[in-house]
Structure 1
Amino acid sequence: MTPLTQLQVFNAMHASPHARLELSAHLGDGLAAALWSNRDDARDYQAPSHHTLSCYIADGTGTFRRQRPGDKGAPDKLCVMPAGHESNWVVNGAIRLAHLYVSEAQFALGCVRLLDREPRELQLQEATFLDDPQQAKRFRQLITLDWDEPGERLLASSLAHDIVDHALLNQVGLRQGLRLKGGLAPSLRRQMVDYIEAHLDQPITLGELAVRCNLSEYHFARMFRASFGLPPHQYLLARRLHRACQLLRLGVMPLGDIALSCGFASASHFSNRFRLAVGATPGEYRSAFCS
């Protein structure tokens, strides 16, 4: 998991003598959050490798982008800063704002799961000072949780996923002028999605998937990554963990049965993988959502 100080937007804020970090946490699944206070500052974000969603919690009426000085922020205003985009900000007076940092891998998974499109076809659209009461409410709920307490951090992670899903459904558009090369045909990509979902409880090998596409393992792996935005093993693990989270929230199945139904070799293997990805054990996850 990338350290917070290696996330460019976080690092740019942290380097400011005027900004104060109130809260920060990794939330699992390539998500991290921070709550900042700042005053009388200027910040430049140089083409970060991650996406940043932000919400103004208080003040911010003197904050603007350097290229648009007439457009000012306010409480509950939202900003979308996509990976690879540069933005320059001036803060006159005070501001308190929440940031949610989103990895490219998590964005790619959402494009496939929610939009049924190749991640490379799509881009998160830059936006400044959006009005979206539903998203602002989620951000405000997010910062009321204790991110240092394991159970509440898991609830924060769930809220963060809701924020990201909402942004994917409302702030994503097609890349202009893009000519795709390589990758799987759309019909094959959908077949892969359906096949993997239907066989999560079984061992799935790279060779098995490659044969279904009539490709060598080497070429299949390259084309899968081009179409899905991440390697086959990483996509498969993400889908297994997503299924496990769904089953854990139901609060019925024994952990060993969940492990087997999601394709993990044993309960201990499941627990280790789950903890590395989510930041908590399966039992702690279940307790957070079923209590």
Structure 2
Amino acid sequence: MTQGQFLPTKGAADSKWLVTQQWGPLGLLDCRQTCAVEDDEEPWVYTTEHTLGLFLSPRPLWISHRQASRSYTGFYNRGDLLITPVNTTLVTQSEGVVEMVQIRLQDAFLRQVAAETLGQNEDRVELMQAFQTRDPQIEAIARMLQAELRQAAAGSRLYVDSLANVLAVHLLRQHATARSPLPTYPGGLPPRQLRQVLDYLDAHLATEITLATLAELVDISPFHFSRLFKQSLGVSPYQYLLQQRIERAKRLLKQTDQPITTIALACGFNSHSHLGRKFRQLTGMTPKTFRLS
């Protein structure tokens, strides 16, 4: 296995890959490999991260797990989830072709979200172990992160930050030993704060923007900021940012003769092709076609 760009061999029964990405407090591993049962399996333990393993193999896969004092042996199906809390030793044996996405979420980030978003005592945050469980929301988030990884698109940090916050809150509400209701903040952002955020976004379209940076502008948690922003404008911060970048690209395409690659970089995209994908997604045409229309 090699680590790097995602380049599986289509149609090959023995194709395999392993690619990783780290976005702030959230890491992702996307892999496909052939496993054989071995007598002595190395134990795994993450001392700073919780791990969520989503199994995506098309055929059921025989797996034997041991987490601390608990164990499980059986067949994992596509969509089954393994949750391993921080500082929990995991020993795994399997036989066959395993295809999976593993999310790693920093424990410090989860505790911060617990305190800022749910008002929990961060020292009492503890996730529960889980073998072969199902969680449609975690599966959806994992697949969105996998798609983002495979596209290798820069300029999407705000999108990933939003997913990380949603994932953390979901874990705290559904998979923690102590659960708290989610506070509600009706009405959206106050007009002054909303204007402040929109002005910041407009001034920084060409740069990487994080959810934490936007939340700090109005002094609230990133998760609540996302919810209030969407209540105010009807779209998420990432969707709004993408719309504004495309609008700027439209103006530059019509009003200047700059190369499309130059326009892409000026609007926060990392390449001509990255702009092209997002431009077609929102307008139904390519930048070149739009310029000539």
- How high is the TM-score relative to the length of structure 1? 0.52
Q: Deviations over 1:43-64 (max 9, x none)?
A: 5213522111121111452112
CA change 1:250–1:127 in 2 (3 A) is: same
2:152 is equivalent to residue 148 of structure 1: yes
Q: C-alpha separation between the residues in 2 aligned to 1:110 and 1:117?
A: 9
Residues 83-128 of structure 1: CA deviation (Å, up to 9, x unaligned): 1111111111121111111112211122113321111112011111
Asked whether the 8 Å contact 1:27–1:154 carries over to 2, the reply is no
- In our comparison, the structure showing a higher alpha carbon Rg is 2
Report the aligned-residue RMSD: 4.2
1:76 Cα deviation from its structure 2 partner = 0.4
Counterpart for residue 163 of structure 2: 159
Counterpart amino acid of 1:22?
Answer: L
Q: 1:72: how far off?
A: 3.3
Task: Specify whether residues 111 and 166 from structure 1 end up closer, same or farther in structure 2 by C-alpha distance, changes over 3 A only.
Answer: same
- Aligned 8 A contact 2:155 2:268 in 1: no
Q: Give the superposition deviation at 1:284.
A: 6.0
- 1:240 and 2:216 are equivalent in the alignment: yes
SS at match of 2:159: helix
Alignment-derived partner of residue 30 in structure 2: 35
Q: Tell me the TM-score normalised to structure 2 length.
A: 0.52
Unpaired stretches in structure 1, ≥5 consecutive residues: 6-18, 176-196, 202-235, 255-280
In structure 2, what is the equivalent of residue 232 of structure 1?
Answer: none
Deviation track 1:192-216 (CA, whole Å, cap 9, x = no partner) reads xxxxx99xx8xxxxxxxxxxxxxxx
Task: Number of aligned residue pairs: give it.
Answer: 192
Deviation at residue 147 of structure 1 after TM alignment: 5.0
Match of 2:114 among 111, 118, 123: 111
* Bigger relative CO (Cα 8 Å, ≥ 6 apart): 1
Instruction: Report the Cα distance in structure 1 between the residues aligned to 2:154 and 2:145, rounded to whole angstroms.
Output: 14
The answer to whether structure 1 residue 79 and structure 2 residue 82 are counterparts is: yes
Deviation at 1:160, TM superposition (A): 3.9
Is the contact between residue 147 and residue 156 of structure 1 (CA under 8 Å) also seen in structure 2?
A: no
Tell me if 1:88 matches 2:91: yes
Instruction: List gaps (5 residues or longer) in structure 2.
Output: 4-14, 180-188, 194-211, 230-236, 245-265, 283-293
Does structure 1 conserve the Cα–Cα contact (< 8 Å) formed by 2:36 and 2:94?
A: yes
Q: Partner residue of 1:65?
A: 65
How do 1:1-291 and structure 2 match up within 5 A? 21-28=17-24, 30-38=25-33, 39-40=35-36, 42-46=41-45, 48-58=47-57, 59=59, 61-66=61-66, 68-145=71-148, 146-152=150-156, 154-174=158-178, 239-240=215-216, 242=222, 243=225, 246=229, 250-251=240-241
Counterpart of 1:37, as a letter, is R
- State the distance in 1 between where 2:107 and 2:43 align: 21
Distance 1:108 1:238 in 2: 20
State the Cα distance separating 1:238 from its structure 2 match.
9.0
Choose between structure 1 and 2: higher helix proportion. 1
